[in-house]
Structure 1
């Protein structure tokens, strides 16, 4: 039986379910900092919009205190692109600028223009699902129009078994 090629709408299906998350975050961004903070988290992801989107509900246990956040993703069937927004309980009325992009095989790249501390930057999310039971996400910023990138946050996901 021939399987039709993916339209891209199922690109994030690997993330459905419950996860533990190992976070590693750069202490200061775009300031030549090389000190990182590691912390734990958990998330669950479920489909929305009849399968053309999903919602990732996060619990982040930073050393200075825990908080909640969501990643909201939607797929545009016309462009074949995903948009990803971040909403954080520490700033509950501030929805981040969406990053937009797509997967090319098991790696997805998503970009946005944003502002950090008053200066224009580019944002890049990289999703790597080569191992769908332990996917990885990275965030990187560029202050030079995308010529160089500084990775500032890495998340490693481990699926929570159904028996957990």
Structure 2
């Protein structure tokens, strides 16, 4: 559990009961190309990588996950905030939580493919290129070649190693 002091928002590690809500929230944005479709099997297999924000009533209103490519490379994926919870800074809180988990797991770098250019730049990410990540290109090809041709998506990267 991670608490954002400035907003009072608490980010929890996802649990089994969250799986249907994670799939539904993620897939709400997939038709517009904002997320990749996720199945219950995918989320179940990666549950330890998902973090969620719940409403007062316990409903999942935000989520993010890490997707490991190697012990030195991880991608921030499945970033989604429920439409009725947007505009409250939850995306920033979720990105910070994902970074925190990635640091705990000793990843030196994190990257993301997203349309949310202002958000990632505000969070200290640098614009990059997908060509730096042949592992990601290979996954896109195995999922859908159309993902590689979406021209509006941006690649962002951030070093997680503290500068000396």
The reply to whether TM is greater than 0.5 is no
TM-score by length of 2: 0.31
Q: Which structure carries more strand by proportion?
A: 1
| Bigger radius of gyration among the two | 1
Q: Which structure carries more helix by proportion?
A: 2
TM-score by length of 1: 0.31
